[in-house]
Structure 1
């Protein structure tokens, strides 16, 4: 096939030269046999007309030439048959070559397009993998932040619970003192209460100074409880505000994490398809 392609393209190669030489040899043999046939026929006429010894020797030689002629005829027929076969094979191969050239020509553009598409897909895959890595890093950072915020939120909630319990204790104590104070004021302000009955209710072991001192202590305790109550309320309010801020930040991070996860899932689906 290489030889035939070289012949078709007009290129000279060793095989092409040999093939061409064989064809010329066949043509030369055909010419020689034709000339030999004419000479042989003429010689046979001359020999059959003569009858001397020399003629007889020539007849024997003619017989040998006749055998040689038959061999040459057979060889020529074989060469002609081979030549016809080669010509037919050349014709078939030329048709195959034309078909292959047409297919190669028609397939050049699709192959280039496929190669270009493959190259673009590989670039997109690389970019997608880089985006995937960046998204996963972002998710890890967001997850760490969420864990820290969740821990801080739980700590604040625990502290808030403790503050509520402490505040409730202050409130109850303040309420008890308030009731006790109201009872004392009520007794003093009652019209039916005179000094004698009031003094009779007082302990003989305590002086007026003792009662004044005890009253001052109660009032001081009430005053301190009021200040503690206000401070506790203020601190509780601050913690509640801080907790609301942390809850909002937590919700925002969870939303961002969900968006990132959806993006990763979408990229995974795209890379699989």
Structure 2
């Protein structure tokens, strides 16, 4: 099944438009302003990514507002009866073991003449929900293991501040000192990567955009992609973004005269 979507994501709202039917799925925070549901909309109440209730037109007062954090609404094409779609989605959820908070839904039978159309649309909606991480089935709790830190921690020391680290990667050459806890010094004469790498569609990736932004802040100290003065940045990652737009682990690229990386010098086990 191929589904073509238009997706717009902002800090407060996600909008997913189905190109084939012009239906719209909207995900909003569960604020008082958003509790009013249009009579033409189906709603799913979400606690994080878990679906806790399915209904239409009106959220019952019997549902505790503390039980959900987000509201998803779905508008449907003219040939999809909301009540029938609601029925099929609730059945799918319950048959898959999802324990839903009851809504005002009255159980009804989907007529044979509407079964094919409603079921096809329902399957599209389920596939979209699954793709975005909203499951109409009970998901098993993962086996809990001792969590490891997401990122390695590094500790600055006075000894490290005296070490000259060099970098030679991705068209970039530089001498760098970690001179203070939040100060990385790039010595004048560093060579920078000239053009940022692009995504497959020709657009700039996040790292490339960040690297360009940092370069703009220091453009007065760069000529022909060579630094003309010492430049101070805040972190090892910023050094990588500035010099070669990231894309590699800069903690492993900066090495001392013996080839020992800045990661080996500073990582906290």
TM interval, short-chain normalised: under 0.3
TM-score, structure 1 normalization = 0.20
TM-score, structure 2 normalization = 0.20
CA radius of gyration, larger in: 1
The structure where strand makes up a greater share of residues is 2
The structure where helix makes up a greater share of residues is 1
Which structure ranks higher in relative contact order (CA pairs < 8 Å, sequence separation ≥ 6)? 1
